[in-house]
C-alpha cells in the first residue's frame, strides 16, 4: 500500500508538472501573437453611417424609407473583456439638421460586448423615431419637401453569440482595442445572431387612413472568416467575409379606424458581408477606419414585396487608454479568478 501511494503521488505530480509545462508553452506562444492591455481602460469616440433603413420592393413600386440622419456618433468604454457603447445622432453633424424638408428624427442605442474566453457575446437596444421617403421624387415631381412619417417608430433588442476558433487571433484588437495583434493570422468565427424588433406607425387613425405595426423576430446563423495583417509594428490591416441565413417570424397588424386585421407569417432571410479595416494601435493611442459592404434580403409576409438592406457603411474612430484605478483592477482580478475567465 505504501508503494502504491508513492507511485500514485509520483504519477499525479508528473501529470501536474507536464500540464504546467504545456500551459506555459501555450501562454508563451499566445504572447508572441497577442499583447494584452489588461491594466488600461480605453475611451473611444467614433463616427459612422450605419443607420437602419428600409428598402421595400414591390413591382412596380419601390420605397426607400430612412431617418433624417446621415451620421451618428458613438462613445465607448473598453476594459479587458467587456465594452459598453452609447450611440446617438447629434443635430450639428452634416445632413442631420434638415428638419423642414425631411422631418425630425431621433436615434439612440446602448450596447455591450463581453469576451469570456474565446466566446463573443453582444447585446444592444436601439430606438429610432421619425422617417421620410428618400425617393419621394419618383412619385412627386419637382417636390419641395419629402414625404414624411413622423410617427413611424423602430425599436429593437438584438444580440449575437460567436466563438473564435483560433486563440492566436485577437478579435478584441479589431473591436474593443483592448489587445494588439503582434503577428499576422486569421480565424473562423461561427456566430448566431438574433433580433426582436417592432416597426410601428403611430399615426392617429381617422376614417380616411390606416396604419400598420409589425412585430418581428429573426435568427440567423453566420460563418465569418477574418484575417489580420500586421503591417509595421503598431499598424495593421484586416479583412473579413461572412455569409449566413435563417428565418424571420412576423406578426403584422393592419389597423383601421374601427377594425384591425392580423396576419402571421415566416420567411427565409439571407445575409452577406465583406469588411476591410485599417488602423494604428499603440499602448496609449489608437485610431482606425473600416468599411463594410452588407447585403440582406427577405420577403415581406405572404406578399410579393421584398425588403432589402444593401450598401456600404463606414466607421472612423480614435481613442486613448489610461491606467485603470486600483479598485477596479482588483475587483476584475477577483472576478476573473472566481469565474475562471480567460483575461
Q: What is the pLDDT of residues 22-33, one digit of tens each?
A: 444 456 667 889
155 and 187 assigned to the same domain? yes
283 and 208 assigned to the same domain? yes
Rg of the chain over all Cα atoms, to the nearest angstrom: 25
104 and 117 assigned to the same domain? yes
Q: What is the pLDDT of residues 95-104, one digit of tens each?
A: 667 788 888 8
199 and 305 assigned to the same domain? yes
Record the pTM. 0.83
Total residues found in the chain within this entry: 343
72 and 51 assigned to the same domain? yes
Q: Can you tell me the distance from the alpha carbon of 106 to that of 127, in angstroms, rounded to the nearest whole number?
A: 8
- Work out how many domains the chain is built from and give that number: 2
Q: What is the pLDDT of residues 280-336, one digit of tens each?
A: 999 999 999 999 999 887 776 555 556 767 788 999 999 999 998 888 878 777 777
Cβ atoms 272, 310 nearer than 8 A: no
Q: What is the pLDDT of residues 161-201, one digit of tens each?
A: 999 999 999 999 999 999 999 999 999 999 999 999 999 99
Q: What is the pLDDT of residue 26?
A: 54
CATH of the domain at 192: 2.40.128
Nearest CA to 110 out of 87, 133, 141, 92 is that of 87
Cβ atoms 214, 253 nearer than 8 A: yes
**Where in the sequence is the domain holding 300, given as residue range(s)?**
37-339
Share of residues in the chain with pLDDT > 90 (%): 53
Q: What is the pLDDT of residues 67-95, one digit of tens each?
A: 988 889 999 999 998 999 999 988 777 66
Question: What would the grid cell of residue 204 be?
Answer: 392617429
Helix/strand/coil for 273? strand
Q: How confident is the model at residue 278 (pLDDT cuts 50, 70, 90)?
A: very high
Which residues on neighbouring strands pair with residue 228, listed in sequence order?
185, 238
Question: What would the grid cell of residue 232 be?
Answer: 509595421
Instruction: Using the predicted structure, report yes or no on whether residue 343 has a pLDDT greater than 90.
Output: no
Helix/strand/coil for 141? coil
Top pLDDT among 169 and 117 is at 169
82 and 148 assigned to the same domain? yes
Average pLDDT over residues 238-253: 94
Q: What is the pLDDT of residue 220?
A: 96
31 and 99 assigned to the same domain? no
151 and 3 assigned to the same domain? no
22 and 63 assigned to the same domain? no
136 and 28 assigned to the same domain? no
47 and 30 assigned to the same domain? no
Question: What would the grid cell of residue 40 be?
Answer: 488600461
Q: How far is CA 270 from the centre of its chain?
A: 17
52 and 69 assigned to the same domain? yes
Q: What is the pLDDT of residue 55?
A: 78
Question: What would the grid cell of residue 273 be?
Answer: 458581408
DSSP string, 120-137: EEEEEEEEEEEEEETTGG
Q: Can you tell me the distance from the alpha carbon of 237 to that of 226, in angstroms, rounded to the nearest whole number?
A: 11
Provide CB contacts within 8 A for 104, sequence distance 6+.
68, 129, 130, 150
Instruction: Using the predicted structure, report yes or no on whether residue 11 has a pLDDT greater than 50.
Output: no
Q: Biggest alpha carbon distance in the chain?
A: 99
Amino acid at each position: 500500500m505504501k508503494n502504491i501511494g508513492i507511485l500514485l503521488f509520483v504519477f499525479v505530480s508528473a501529470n501536474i508538472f507536464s500540464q504546467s509545462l504545456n500551459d506555459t508553452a501555450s501562454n508563451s506562444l499566445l504572447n508572441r501573437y497577442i499583447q494584452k492591455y489588461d491594466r488600461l481602460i480605453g475611451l473611444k469616440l467614433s463616427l459612422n453611417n450605419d443607420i437602419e433603413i428600409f428598402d421595400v420592393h414591390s413591382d412596380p413600386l419601390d420605397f426607400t424609407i430612412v431617418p433624417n440622419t446621415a451620421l451618428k456618433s458613438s462613445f465607448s468604454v473598453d476594459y479587458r473583456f467587456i465594452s459598453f457603447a452609447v450611440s446617438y445622432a447629434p443635430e450639428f453633424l452634416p445632413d442631420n439638421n434638415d428638419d423642414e424638408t425631411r422631418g425630425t428624427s431621433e436615434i439612440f442605442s446602448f450596447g455591450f460586448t463581453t469576451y469570456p474566453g474565446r466566446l463573443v457575446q453582444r447585446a444592444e437596444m436601439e430606438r429610432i423615431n421619425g422617417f421620410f421617403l428618400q425617393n419621394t421624387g419618383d412619385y412627386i415631381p419637382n417636390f419641395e419637401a419629402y414625404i414624411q412619417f413622423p410617427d413611424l417608430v423602430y425599436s429593437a433588442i438584438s444580440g449575437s453569440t460567436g466563438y473564435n476558433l483560433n486563440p492566436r487571433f485577437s478579435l478584441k484588437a479589431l473591436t474593443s482595442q483592448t489587445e494588439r495583434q503582434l503577428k499576422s493570422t486569421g480565424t473562423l468565427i461561427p456566430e448566431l445572431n438574433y433580433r426582436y424588433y417592432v416597426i410601428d406607425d403611430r399615426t392617429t387613425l381617422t376614417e380616411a387612413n390606416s396604419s400598420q405595426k409589425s412585430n418581428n423576430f429573426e435568427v440567423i446563423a453566420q460563418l465569418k472568416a477574418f484575417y489580420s495583417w500586421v503591417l509595421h509594428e503598431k499598424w495593421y490591416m484586416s479583412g473579413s467575409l461572412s455569409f449566413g441565413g435563417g428565418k424571420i417570424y412576423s406578426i403584422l397588424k393592419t389597423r383601421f379606424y374601427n377594425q384591425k386585421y392580423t396576419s402571421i407569417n415566416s420567411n427565409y432571410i439571407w445575409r452577406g458581408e465583406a469588411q476591410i479595416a485599417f488602423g494604428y494601435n499603440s499602448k496609449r493611442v489608437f485610431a482606425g477606419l473600416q468599411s463594410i459592404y452588407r447585403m440582406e434580403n427577405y420577403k415581406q409576409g405572404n406578399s410579393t414585396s421584398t425588403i432589402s438592406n444593401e450598401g456600404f457603411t463606414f466607421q472612423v474612430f480614435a481613442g486613448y487608454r489610461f491606467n485603470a484605478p486600483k479598485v477596479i483592477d482588483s475587483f476584475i482580478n477577483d472576478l476573473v479568478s472566481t469565474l475562471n475567465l480567460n483575461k
